[in-house]
Amino acid sequence: MTKRLWIETVGCQMNVLDSELVVAALRRQGWELAQTTAEADAVFYNTCSVRQHAEDKIYSALGRIRLEKQQRPGLVIGVLGCMAQKDQELVRKRAPWVDLVVGPGQLHRVPGLVDDVLAGGGPRLEVSLDRTGGSRAAIAQSFESYDPDRDPEMRPTPFQAFIRTQTGCDKFCAFCVVPHVRGPEQARAPATIVAEARKLVAEGCREITLIGQTVNSYRWTDGGKTTRLADLLVLLDAIDGLDRIKFVTNYPRDMTDELIAAVRDLPKVSHYLHVPAQHGSDAVLTRMKRGYSIGDYMEMLGRLREAIPHAAVTSDFIVGFCGETDAEFQTTLDLVRTADFKNSFIFKYSPRPGTKAFDRQPDDVPEVVKKERNQALLEAQAAVSLAGNLRFIGTRQQVLVEGRSVRDERRQAKSADDSPNAPATSPEATSPETMAQLTGRTMCDRIVVFDAPLRLIGRLVDVDVQAAGAWSLAGDVADGLAEATPLDSLLERLAVATTPPSPALYDIDLTKSSGGRLPQSGKSDTAQTDTTAGA
């Protein structure tokens, strides 16, 4: 009999990809996605440990699911991913009703483990070695890169896909738990990455986003030849049928001239670079063990802007890091006001057990001060983002159409609820010719809202930009047919994204299983943290 899985994902793109792959592996064994936890045979949480808040969310979800487990003791509860690796036995101490605890380096074992649990084998804990738990080789081996065959059905937008370039991280920034929970940095072979890209493109994928914790540190040496990210981009750019290539996240010191030139010269590579600065002060960057000064960062930004003047650069910032003074915070504010980031993801420092900062630096900035600084930085970035977007009014932009706007989806869901037989759910309402409010992204990763027929989803179209807000642009498809949209309608389109979007990056409940598909990540509507600014 078909078994049904409910999966909920929090965290970064790595987790989104891991969930896609776990679901695809289980589907190959006959599983289907459940619409609700009530009809599920297994409920999985793919977890994040980057901030306490992400962990708290999962522990409260586990509290809620306990009631269902009491009703149906056969329900398999699984905690996957970074929190599983970090908390290990603690997960079952806090929530003894959990059956499976599987770290990110052991996900390939999930299908077998679920079968074991269903067969009455009792709870299972499968995690990788700690970073001090053995030789580097042994630790690396215990974190297996998990990249089985893909299933386009499992992506909310089959024309977009993530590809992992490397697992783990060796940067050991003082605040960050990632090297501890995702293990040593290990590159995948270029041939494997290219083969995966070709297969995805053959299945209809048009945009690929390469993901690695520090993706531009990518390095693969074989037979005396070293392949860096710039070389990989050349190989991917040559794939017929692929339209766009993006990559995240970049480490400032590894932003080489070769990489910048590749981004400038390769036609498919998006001129969008996420290069987190984290802070504006040298003293704080030193305490964070980031390995560069603000002078180094500005030098990198200068080279980048000189080579690609219109490139969209985005950053992450942490406010309220250990010992951050008002004057130090001011330097971050100054950086945001002057560096012209397209947007910034702003986080309040959250001490993480196991990190150097946790062990050696007190978390001494009061929560109210963290909140104030967070807000001040968000506001500064919003003003910069708006000014940046206003420059696009009157331009024509090529946009990859991603889907209905949030407002359109909500409207549709509401009319379906209100009257199940109303036109919104009639066949013509979802025919390819149906006009809808759609969103897409420019080559610089800016969100654009426009009215167009549904058949354009997954296609590249030109849009004339007529209006701009801090988080999005609005305009008309440039087919010369439609009348220019009146200003108030354009403003209404912009209102679609009045809250700062959280583009599939961090700290978001972006995927709950529903309707047989993981809902779309990376859209302007993903549940919003208090910490994201820009589009």
Residue number, 385 or 397, with CB nearest to ligand SAH: 385
Number of other residues whose CB lies within 10 A of the CB of residue 198: 16
Nearest alpha-carbon partner for 320 in 359, 297, 282, 351 = 351
Of positions 103, 168, 276, 469, contacts ligand SAH by CB under 6 A: 276
Using the rule CB under 6 A, give the single segment among 93-101, 231-239, 343-351, 457-465 that binds ligand SAH: 343-351
Amino acid type, 34: A
DSSP assignments along 114-128, one per residue: HHHHHTT---EEE--
- # residues contacting ligand SAH (CB under 6 A): 19
* 113, 76 contact by CB (below 8 A): no
SS3 content of the chain, % helix, strand, coil (to 5): 40, 20, 40
* Contact pattern for ligand SAH over residues 353 through 392, marking x by CB under 6 A: ----------------------------------------
Report 38-77 residues binding ligand SAH (CB under 6 A).
50-51
What is the rounded CA–CA span in Å between residue 125 and residue 79? 10
Closer Cβ to ligand SAH, 219 or 517, answer by number: 219
**Partners of 167 in the β-ladder:** 186
Q: Is 275 a residue that touches ligand SAH (CB under 6 A)?
A: no
- Only segment of 157-165, 344-352, 463-471, 514-522 that touches ligand SAH (CB under 6 A): 344-352
Instruction: Count Cβ atoms below 10 Å from residue 246 Cβ, excluding itself.
Output: 22
Q: Which of 49, 85, 270, 278 binds ligand SAH (CB under 6 A)?
A: 278
Buried b (16+ CB within 10 A) or exposed e, 398-424: bbbbbbbbbbbbeebeeeeeeeeeeeb
In 4-123 the beta strands, taken as DSSP E runs, fall at 4-10, 32-33, 42-47, 76-81, 100-102
Among 349, 392, 450, 471, binds ligand SAH (CB under 6 A): 349
Q: Which stretch binds ligand SAH (CB under 6 A): 17-25, 36-44, 171-179, 259-267?
A: 171-179
151 with 23: CB under 8 angstroms? Answer: yes
Q: Is 277 in the site for ligand SAH (CB under 6 A)?
A: no
* 447 touches 501 (CB < 8 A): yes
CB of 249 to ligand SAH, least distance (A): 3
Among 47, 350, 513, 521, which residue sits at the site for ligand SAH (rule: CB under 6 A)? 350
Q: Determine, following the binding rule CB under 6 A, whether residue 143 of this chain makes contact with ligand SAH.
A: no
Report in angstroms how near the CB of residue 58 gets to ligand SAH at its nearest.
Answer: 16
Does the protein bind ligand SAH through residue 506 (CB under 6 A)?
A: yes
Per rule CB under 6 A, is residue 146 in the interface with ligand SAH?
A: no
Q: Taking the chain, what is the end-to-end CA distance rounded to the nearest angstrom?
A: 44
> Between residues 98 and 176, which has the closer beta carbon with respect to ligand SAH?
176
Of 70-78, 128-136, 169-177, 424-432, the window that binds ligand SAH (rule: CB under 6 A) is 169-177
Distance CA 508, CA 418 (A): 29
Cis peptide before 249 (omega within 30 of 0): yes
176 binds ligand SAH (CB under 6 A): yes
Q: Are 216 and 251 spatial neighbours (Cβ–Cβ below 8 Å)?
A: yes
Question: If binding is defined by CB under 6 A, does position 213 make contact with ligand SAH?
Answer: yes
The stretch among 116-124, 348-356, 419-427, 446-454 that binds ligand SAH (CB under 6 A) is 348-356
Residue 475, classed as helix, strand or coil, is: strand
Best CA proximity match to 504, nearest among 249, 221, 297: 249
Structure tokens at 320: 């309220």
Which of 146, 329, 341, 347 is close enough to bind ligand SAH by CB under 6 A? 347
Burial class (CB in 10 A: 0-12, 13-18, 19+), 392: buried
**491, two tokens:** 């403003």
Minimum Å distance from CB 289 to ligand SAH?
Answer: 12
Does 13 interact with ligand SAH (rule: CB under 6 A)? no
Kindly state the smallest distance separating residue 341's Cβ from ligand SAH, in Å. Answer: 13
Q: Is 318 in the site for ligand SAH (CB under 6 A)?
A: yes
Contact characters 97-126, ligand SAH, x per CB under 6 A: ------------------------------
Q: Does 249 bind ligand SAH (CB under 6 A)?
A: yes
Cβ at position 448, least distance to ligand SAH in Å: 25
Q: Out of 10, 91, 178, 496, name the contact with ligand SAH by CB under 6 A.
A: 178
| 294-307 helix and 257-265 helix, angle to the nearest 10 degrees | 30
Sequence-ordered alpha helix ranges (H) in 238-311: 257-265, 282-287, 294-307
Residue count of the chain, please give it: 535
Q: Residues 451-490 vs ligand SAH: string with x where CB under 6 A? A: ----------------------------------------
31 binds ligand SAH (CB under 6 A): no
Nearer to ligand SAH, 256 or 489 (CB): 256
Residue 316 engages ligand SAH in binding (rule: CB under 6 A):
yes
Point out which residues bind ligand SAH (CB under 6 A).
Answer: 12, 50-51, 169, 175-176, 178, 213-214, 249, 276, 278, 316, 318, 347, 349-350, 352, 506
